[in-house]
């Protein structure tokens, strides 16, 4: 868990091999789709970024940036790439491939680098006692990695199932958001024309409706999710935790009075004790 795995050991670990294969297949899929869209040699750019970035923790960011840059860079930038339809297999595969690379790379990172943040309280086994005259050094902080042996076929199956699901859901969500923002835009235009006689309102610009809808959707969604989790958490307070909460509330409300009373008590006790 704490020692750095060697290459010979990695090759023998099925967990490592499985995720490595997923990474490579994902990069190959990205390459194929880009090549189909006549990106020619530029199709290698994400593969290169993914291969080089795969050795570092910046792999997903590099691949995503390379893809984004490639899609919008001239001369190919003028050619629409994805169709923005509800279900399009090419789009689905492309997004799923990027997601597969991100998931597999992050899982490899948690097995090779860290799965939990370094905790200064957790340290490796004590070093040998120092020689006379030497200063005792603290053992290094334990690096908690995920063991490769715990990777199961079930986990891989779930990952493969998740890829098209999330890509499909994103397509649907994006299309739906676009439609909702279009409806808002039309409603706004109707309001301008019907109620205000064609006068321009000092409201948001028509092009801004999509970002507004997106931000509101994300905001409300995250707030609801946090509210549900928080509610579940409050419902599950144990008796001492609830007592602690009540005590804390009382203290917050009366801390000045409590402080004054107890300080006088302590002062009096110390005076009597000294006397």
- Contacts of other proteins in 123-162 (CB under 8 A): 132-135, 144, 146-147, 150, 152, 155, 162
The Cα 213–Cα 196 span in angstroms is: 24
Using the rule CB under 8 A, which residue among 166, 184, 188, 192 binds other proteins? 166
Instruction: Enter the tokens of residue 138.
Output: 């603290």
The DSSP result for 127-193, as a single string, is PPPPPTTPPPPPPPBP-----GGG--HHHHHHHHHHHHHHHHHHHHHHHHHHHHHHHHHHHHHHIII
Contact 229, 223 (CB under 8 A): no
Applying CB under 8 A, the span of 6-14, 42-50, 188-196, 206-214 interacting with other proteins comes to: 206-214
Task: Tell the smallest beta-carbon distance from residue 212 to other proteins (Å).
Answer: 10
Beta carbon nearer to other proteins, 121 or 197: 121
Applying CB under 8 A, the span of 21-29, 39-47, 194-202, 248-256 interacting with other proteins comes to: 248-256
Beta carbon nearer to other proteins, 31 or 194: 31
Site string for other proteins, 86-125 (x = CB under 8 A): -----x--xxx-xx--xx--xx-xx---xxxx---x----
Task: Tell the smallest beta-carbon distance from residue 246 to other proteins (Å).
Answer: 7
Strand partners, 23: none
Task: Tell the smallest beta-carbon distance from residue 224 to other proteins (Å).
Answer: 10
Task: Tell the smallest beta-carbon distance from residue 5 to other proteins (Å).
Answer: 15
Residue 171 touching other proteins (CB under 8 A) = yes
Beta carbon nearer to other proteins, 17 or 106: 106
Residue 245 touching other proteins (CB under 8 A) = yes
Cα→Cα distances 27→49, 101, 155, 159, Å:
10, 7, 21, 16
Beta carbon nearer to other proteins, 41 or 135: 135
Q: Which of positions 27-46 make contact with other proteins (CB under 8 A)?
A: none
Task: Tell the smallest beta-carbon distance from residue 190 to other proteins (Å).
Answer: 20
Using the rule CB under 8 A, which residue among 52, 79, 127, 220 binds other proteins? 79
Using the rule CB under 8 A, which residue among 14, 139, 203, 211 binds other proteins? 211
Task: Tell the smallest beta-carbon distance from residue 41 to other proteins (Å).
Answer: 19
Closest CA relative to residue 106, chosen from 26, 200, 226, 199: 26
Beta carbon nearer to other proteins, 136 or 194: 136
Beta carbon nearer to other proteins, 176 or 190: 176
């Amino acid at each position: 868990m704490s020692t750095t795995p060697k290459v010979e050991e990695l090759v023998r670990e099925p967990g490592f091999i499985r995720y490595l294969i997923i990474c490579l297949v994902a990069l190959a899929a990205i390459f194929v789709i880009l090549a189909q869209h006549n990106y020619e040699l530029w199709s290698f750019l994400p593969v290169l970024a993914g291969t080089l970035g795969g050795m570092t923790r910046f792999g997903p960011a590099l691949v995503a940036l390379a893809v984004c840059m490639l899609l919008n860079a001239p001369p190919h930038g003028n050619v629409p790439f994805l169709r923005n339809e509800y279900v399009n297999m090419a789009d689905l595969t492309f997004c799923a491939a990027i997601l597969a690379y991100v998931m597999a790379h992050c899982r490899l990172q948690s097995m090779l680098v860290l799965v939990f943040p370094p905790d200064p309280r957790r340290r490796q086994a004590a070093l040998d006692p120092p020689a006379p005259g030497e200063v005792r050094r603290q053992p290094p902080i334990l690096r908690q990695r995920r063991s490769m042996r715990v990777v199961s076929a079930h986990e891989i199956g779930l990952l493969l199932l998740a890829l098209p699901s999330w890509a499909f859901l994103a397509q649907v969500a994006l299309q739906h958001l676009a439609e909702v923002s279009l409806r808002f835009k039309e409603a706004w235009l109707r309001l301008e024309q019907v109620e205000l006689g064609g006068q321009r309102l000092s409201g948001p610009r028509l092009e801004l409706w999509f970002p507004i809808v997106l931000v509101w959707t994300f905001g409300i969604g995250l707030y609801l999710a946090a509210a549900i989790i928080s509610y579940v958490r409050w419902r599950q307070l144990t008796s001492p935790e609830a007592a602690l909460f009540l005590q804390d509330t009382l203290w917050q409300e009366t801390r000045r009075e409590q402080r004054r009373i107890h300080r006088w008590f302590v002062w009096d006790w110390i005076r009597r004790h000294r006397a």
